[in-house]
C-alpha cells in the first residue's frame, strides 16, 4: 500500500482485531465521549419534522446501531490506531482488503493531517459530508487498485458475495434513507470524485485535494463545480419573530446540502423514476440554511432557505418540494423569489404564519 499510494508512513501502524461485540463496545464508548448529545437530539427532532425520521426516533441511537453493524474496520485519528473486524480472530481476504483501505487512512493522516479537514462541525453537516468523501474516496480507490493487483478471482468473488448479502446488507437496506445515504455517500460518490481527479493527474493530484478540500456535497456530485471554484452561497435564517412572544428559541441550525435535499425529495424506498426526478430537482443547488425553532408547550417551526444556480433549477425544486408538503407533520408553505425557494413548516398555523412571509393563494 505504501508503494501503491506513493506515501511513506511516519510511524508504525499495527492493526487490532475485534469481534462484533468489540466493535460495538468501541463505537459506543466513542459516541459517549465524542458526540454532542443535545445537538443530535435536536437534529432528531428536525428530521422528524421534515418526515425523514419517525416522531420520537433517536438519530444518535440509530446512527450508532447502523455504524456498529456496518463497520468492518476503522482508523482512529485520535489514538492513531487501526482496528479490523474479525469474528474468527484470523486474517483472511476480507480482513486484508479492509486493512488496505484503513491503512490508507493512516497514510493520509500521517502525511496530510486528517484533523485539518474539520469534519465534526456541528452546524456544517453538508461540508462535513463532502470533506469525509475525500479520504474515503481516496482509500476506496487505493483499496480497489490493491485488490486488482493482489487478490485472486475467487477471493474477490468471496468478498463481493459476503458484502452483498447477510445481516449487514439487510440492516443497510432497512435503515432510514437519510442515514443510509449519508453513510454510503463518502464511499460511493467520494470514489467517483477521487477517480476523476486521479485520472487527470494520478496520486499527486489527489494529494493536492487535501490542501483545498471540497466544501459541499454538490462539489462531490458535480466535480466541475469544484474544479471551477464554485462554492456554496452563504445564507442566513431569521430570528424568532417578536409576535410569538417569549419562550421561543433557535434550537439548532445547519446546512442540508444537495444530497440531503435529494433524499428528502425521494422519500423512503423510491422507485428509479422517483430517484431520477429528485436527483434532477436538487442538481442546481447553490446553497441552503435550515433552522429548528422551539417554543412553549411543544410548539415548533422549521425554516429552510435555499438558493439555486438557475431559474429552471429553482422551478424544478419548487415543484418537487410542493409535492412533499402534504406529507409533512404540520402545516407548511413554500415562499421565495426568482432564485430562491424557502420552506416553512410548523406545529400549528399560528407559528407558521409568524415565520412565513407569504400566504397561500385564495
Contact 332, 344 (CB under 8 A): yes
Answer whether residue 88 shows pLDDT above 90: no
> Each residue of 115-173: pLDDT tens digit?
999 888 889 999 999 999 999 999 999 999 999 999 999 888 878 776 766 788 899 99
> Each residue of 18-31: pLDDT tens digit?
999 999 999 999 88
Look at residue 257 and tell me if it is in a domain: yes
Look at residue 362 and tell me if it is in a domain: no
The answer to whether residues 265 and 209 belong to one domain is no
Contact 113, 150 (CB under 8 A): no
Neighbouring residues of 286: CB distance < 8 A, sequence distance ≥ 6: 218, 232, 233, 307, 308, 309, 339
CA angle 157, 189, 145 (to 5 degrees): 45
The answer to whether residues 211 and 259 belong to one domain is no
Look at residue 208 and tell me if it is in a domain: yes
* Over residues 62-91, mean pLDDT: 92
Answer whether residue 360 shows pLDDT above 90: no
Neighbouring residues of 204: CB distance < 8 A, sequence distance ≥ 6: 6
* Over residues 96-117, mean pLDDT: 96
Domain boundary among 170, 195, 227: 227
Look at residue 234 and tell me if it is in a domain: no
The answer to whether residues 196 and 109 belong to one domain is yes
**What is the per-residue pLDDT for 164?**
65
Look at residue 183 and tell me if it is in a domain: yes
**What is the per-residue pLDDT for 146?**
96
299: confidence class by pLDDT, cuts 50, 70, 90: very high
Average pLDDT of the chain, as a whole number: 94
Look at residue 236 and tell me if it is in a domain: no
The answer to whether residues 72 and 152 belong to one domain is yes
Could you tell me the residue range of the domain that residue 72 belongs to? Answer: 2-227
* Over residues 334-344, mean pLDDT: 94
The answer to whether residues 153 and 273 belong to one domain is no
How many separate domains does the chain show?
A: 2
The answer to whether residues 221 and 296 belong to one domain is no
How far is residue 72's CA from residue 139's CA, in Å, rounded to a whole number? 14
The answer to whether residues 158 and 250 belong to one domain is no
The answer to whether residues 205 and 261 belong to one domain is no
Q: Per mean pLDDT, which range of 29-38, 187-196, 267-276 is the poorest?
A: 29-38
Which position has the higher pLDDT, 33 or 107?
107
Look at residue 49 and tell me if it is in a domain: yes
Domain boundary among 227, 258, 285: 227
The answer to whether residues 53 and 197 belong to one domain is yes
Domain boundary among 199, 227, 255: 227
Look at residue 320 and tell me if it is in a domain: yes
Q: Give the burial class of 246: count Cβ atoms within 10 A of its Cβ; 0-12 exposed, 13-18 middle, 19 or more buried.
A: exposed
The answer to whether residues 203 and 303 belong to one domain is no
Among candidates 140, 173, 119, which has minimal Cα distance to 73? 140
Grid cell of 110 as nine digits: 500521517
Contact 140, 191 (CB under 8 A): yes
The answer to whether residues 126 and 202 belong to one domain is yes
**What is the per-residue pLDDT for 120?**
83
The answer to whether residues 147 and 212 belong to one domain is yes
Give Cα 92 to chain centroid, integer Å: 31
* Over residues 199-219, mean pLDDT: 98
Q: Per mean pLDDT, which range of 68-72, 184-188, 289-293 is the poorest?
A: 68-72
Neighbouring residues of 297: CB distance < 8 A, sequence distance ≥ 6: none
Amino acid at each position: 500500500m505504501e508503494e501503491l499510494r506513493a506515501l511513506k508512513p511516519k510511524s508504525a501502524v499495527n492493526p487490532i482485531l475485534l469481534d462484533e461485540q468489540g466493535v460495538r463496545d468501541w463505537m459506543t464508548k466513542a459516541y459517549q465521549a465524542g458526540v454532542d448529545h443535545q445537538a443530535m437530539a435536536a437534529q432528531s427532532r428536525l428530521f422528524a419534522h421534515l418526515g425523514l425520521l419517525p416522531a420520537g426516533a433517536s438519530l444518535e441511537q440509530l446512527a450508532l446501531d447502523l455504524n456498529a453493524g456496518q463497520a468492518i474496520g476503522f482508523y482512529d485519528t485520535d489514538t492513531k490506531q487501526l482496528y479490523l473486524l474479525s469474528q474468527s480472530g484470523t486474517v483472511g481476504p476480507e480482513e486484508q482488503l479492509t486493512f488496505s483501505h484503513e491503512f490508507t487512512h493512516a497514510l493520509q493522516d500521517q502525511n496530510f493531517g486528517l484533523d485539518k479537514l474539520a469534519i465534526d462541525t456541528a452546524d456544517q453537516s453538508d461540508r462535513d459530508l463532502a470533506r469525509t468523501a475525500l479520504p474515503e474516496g481516496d482509500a476506496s480507490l487505493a483499496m480497489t487498485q490493491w485488490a486488482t493487483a493482489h487478490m485472486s478471482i475467487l477471493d474477490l468473488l468471496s468478498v463481493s458475495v459476503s458484502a452483498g448479502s447477510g445481516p449487514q446488507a439487510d440492516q443497510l437496506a432497512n435503515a432510514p434513507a437519510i442515514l443510509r445515504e449519508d453513510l454510503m455517500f463518502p464511499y460511493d460518490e467520494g470514489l467517483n470524485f477521487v477517480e476523476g481527479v486521479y485520472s487527470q493527474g494520478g496520486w499527486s493530484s489527489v494529494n493536492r485535494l487535501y490542501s483545498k478540500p471540497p466544501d459541499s456535497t454538490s462539489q462531490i456530485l458535480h466535480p466541475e463545480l469544484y474544479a471551477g471554484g464554485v462554492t456554496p452561497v452563504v445564507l442566513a435564517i431569521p430570528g424568532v419573530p417578536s409576535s410569538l412572544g417569549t419562550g421561543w428559541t433557535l434550537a439548532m441550525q445547519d446546512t442540508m446540502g444537495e444530497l440531503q435535499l435529494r433524499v428528502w425529495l425521494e422519500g423512503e424506498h423510491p422507485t428509479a423514476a422517483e430517484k431520477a426526478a429528485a436527483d434532477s430537482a436538487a442538481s442546481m443547488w447553490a446553497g441552503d440554511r435550515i433552522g429548528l425553532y422551539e417554543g412553549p408547550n411543544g410548539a415548533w417551526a422549521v425554516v429552510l432557505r435555499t438558493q439555486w444556480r438557475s431559474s429552471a433549477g429553482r422551478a424544478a425544486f419548487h415543484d418537487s418540494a410542493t409535492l412533499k408538503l402534504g406529507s409533512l407533520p404540520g402545516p407548511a408553505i413554500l415562499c421565495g423569489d426568482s432564485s430562491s425557494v424557502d420552506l416553512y413548516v410548523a406545529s400549528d398555523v399560528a407559528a407558521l404564519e409568524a415565520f412565513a412571509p407569504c400566504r397561500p393563494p385564495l
